[in-house]
Structures are given as C-alpha cells and as structure tokens.
C-alpha cells in the first residue's frame, strides 16, 4: 500500500496529486470517490466553493476527469476499469439549484448536503453516457452505503448524537458493512461491463426520478467544467 496526499477540498491539491500519480506510470483499474462532509456550518473551501458542493462533488468531479485517461488506458474489453462514486439516500430529497449551486441565496446544511449527493448521481450517469459514446472500457456506477456509524455525524444536533449513540448498534451499519457495496461495485464479476447503475445493498435499484433527466445531467456537467476550470469537450457529444 502506498499513500499519496490529496485534499479533495482543494483544486490545487487535486492537480498536484494527479501529477504525482501520473509520474509513477501506474495503471489505474479502480477509482473510488468516497470523501465527504455532512451538515457542516456555512463555510467555503480555499477555492471559494460552498464546502458540501466543493468537497463532496466538485473535488470528485475534477479528480475523476483528470484521471480519465489513465482509467481508459487501463481498462480492457474483458476487464473494464471502474469508477465508483459514493452518494447517499439523501439525494432522494435533494434539489439541484443550477442558478445557485453555492447556496448563496439561502444556506441550509441539510439542503446543501442533499444537493451535493444528488449532483454525484447526475454526474455518474452523464459520465457513463460519455464513456459509452467514446467506446471506452471504463464503467461508472454510484453507491448508496446506507446509514453507517462513522464520524460523519459530528455536526448533527446533540439530541441526534444522543439517539445515535443509543441506537447505533441496532440501526446503523458498521464501517465494514457500509463499505460492502462499494467493494462489490469495485471487484464483483457480476457488475463487469455494467455502468450507470445505482447500487444499494449490493443490488441495482432506482435512484430519484430527477437523476434520469439527461438535460439536467448535461447542464450540471457543463457548469461543473466551468467551475473547476477544465475543457468541456463532452458538450459536443449527444
């Protein structure tokens, strides 16, 4: 195991990480996008992005795009390279505010978190569409890990923390259990060659209806490219 530092809340750090990784000339068979914050107070990343949207979504968007060439070179017809992005059931109640992705008009920790998780699902579906259109041997899927007992809940109200402490053993998954669907998406032969899936408890299921809106997927992708400063070559594809 080798560790390379990457701060998903920093566009500069992401670019530096990708440069370091490329310098190693290593193949890239699996990319898991799993970083995240939840219900943080209103604050910005060093690039000026609202933290939920900047870290949970834009960081992964930029990282994935910068590593796409390595993934495409590593995938083969019989063994596709795989991109797994971790979202949340919270996306079902999320709303994407294309005119205010930074939640400047009205900030809600719950709304900002749900929007970032919704954006990850839309991103995954658009990415799979583009990979298929390019004939790439890379698949992109999105995972719902369930309710997992981790430090992600440190910003919730104290009453919720108390209830969590009392009931976690009964209602929450352990981190190992929470990781099972991500691992399934990364290595299982059952999903070889299958992309654009929403996976929960190691099974394919439907995400929110709005996530299948291809025009919304396209618009979010284009806006995201502008925000992170990369070329939107995909806009020329159907």
pLDDT value, residue 157:
43
Q: What is the pTM of this model?
A: 0.87
pLDDT value, residue 102:
87
Q: φ and ψ at 204, to 5 degrees?
A: -80, 135
Dist. CA 137–CA 68, nearest whole Å: 11
Dist. CA 137–CA 126, nearest whole Å: 16
Of 101, 90, 74, the residue nearest 36 (C-alpha): 90
pLDDT value, residue 161:
42
pLDDT value, residue 169:
42
pLDDT value, residue 162:
44
The answer to whether 4 touches 17, Cβ cutoff 8 Å, is: yes
Domains of the chain are 11-235 (3.40.50.720)
Task: Tell me the catalytic residues.
Answer: 113
- Residue spans of the chain under pLDDT 70: 146-175, 178, 234-238
**pLDDT tens-digit series, residues 96-137:** 999 999 888 888 888 998 999 999 999 999 999 999 999 999
Residue with tokens 């949340």: 88
DSSP alpha helix (H) spans, the chain: 11-23, 51, 59-74, 109-133, 158-171, 175-187, 214-228
């Amino acid at each position: 195991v080798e560790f390379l530092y990457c701060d998903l809340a920093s566009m500069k750090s992401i670019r530096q990480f990708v440069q370091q990784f490329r310098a190693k000339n290593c193949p890239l068979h699996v990319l898991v996008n799993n970083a995240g914050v939840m219900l943080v107070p209103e604050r910005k990343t060093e690039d000026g992005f609202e933290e939920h949207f900047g870290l949970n979504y834009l960081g992964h968007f930029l990282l994935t795009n910068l590593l796409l060439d390595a993934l495409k070179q590593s995938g083969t017809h019989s063994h596709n390279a795989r991109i797994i992005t971790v979202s949340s059931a919270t996306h079902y109640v999320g709303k994407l505010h294309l005119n205010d992705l930074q939640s400047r008009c009205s900030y809600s920790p719950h709304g900002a978190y749900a929007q970032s998780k919704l954006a990850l699902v839309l991103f995954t579906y658009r990415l799979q569409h583009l990979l298929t259109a390019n004939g790439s041997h890379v698949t992109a899927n999105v995972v719902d890990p369930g309710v997992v007992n981790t430090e992600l809940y440190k910003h919730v109200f104290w009453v919720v923390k108390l209830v969590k402490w009392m009931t976690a053993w009964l209602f929450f998954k352990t981190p190992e259990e929470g990781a099972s669907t991500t691992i399934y998406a990364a290595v299982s032969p059952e999903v070889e060659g299958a992309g654009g899936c929403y996976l929960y408890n190691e099974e394919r299921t439907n995400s929110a209806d709005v996530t299948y809106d291809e025009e919304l997927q396209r618009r979010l992708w284009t806006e995201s490219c502008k925000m992170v400063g990369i070329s939107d070559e995909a806009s020329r594809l159907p």
